């Protein structure tokens, strides 16, 4: 009975941890996507020498940079759990990270 209860608790805890990680990854994807779009707008404004537009983006850029740093730090602490994530979600995160790297 104790073994069954322990397995049930471990299974429930594992599912909760996995769901927590999944939500963290989805939040990270949202931040990376928004940050990437902002960087693309900034690059376009720089190409056009629209320095007013560049200045207007700076506050959001700082905000996204702080959010990105906080979220990536949290995910790094959970890197051992990543193999448990759905492959599609892992691939999506890698793809968005690549797009973000290009935008930088």
Residues 6-63 have pLDDT tens digits of 454 478 888 899 999 999 999 999 999 999 999 999 999 999 999 999 999 999 999 9
Determine contact, residues 64/34, Cβ cutoff 8 Å: yes
Closest CA to 24 of 58, 64, 67: 67
Closest CA to 86 of 25, 39, 2: 25
Which residues fall within 8 angstroms of residue 41, CB to CB, at 6 or more apart?
53, 57
Domain ranges of the chain: 22-103
| Confidence at residue 62, expressed as pLDDT on a 0 to 100 scale | 98
Q: How far apart are CA 89 and CA 91, in angstroms?
A: 5
| Confidence at residue 9, expressed as pLDDT on a 0 to 100 scale | 46
Tokens in use for 33? 């996507």
Q: How far apart are CA 10 and CA 78, in angstroms?
A: 18
User: Global pTM?
Assistant: 0.82
Determine contact, residues 95/32, Cβ cutoff 8 Å: no
Determine contact, residues 82/90, Cβ cutoff 8 Å: yes
């Amino acid at each position: 009975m104790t073994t069954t209860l322990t397995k049930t608790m471990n299974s429930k805890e594992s599912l909760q941890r996995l769901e927590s990680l999944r939500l963290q990854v989805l939040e990270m994807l949202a931040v990376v996507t928004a940050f990437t779009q902002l960087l693309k707008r900034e690059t376009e404004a720089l190409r056009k020498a629209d320095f007013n537009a560049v200045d207007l983006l700076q506050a959001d850029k700082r905000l996204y940079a702080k959010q990105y740093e906080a979220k990536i730090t949290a995910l790094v602490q959970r890197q051992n759990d990543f193999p448990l994530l759905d492959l599609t979600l892992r691939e999506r995160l890698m793809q968005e990270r690549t797009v973000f790297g290009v935008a930088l």
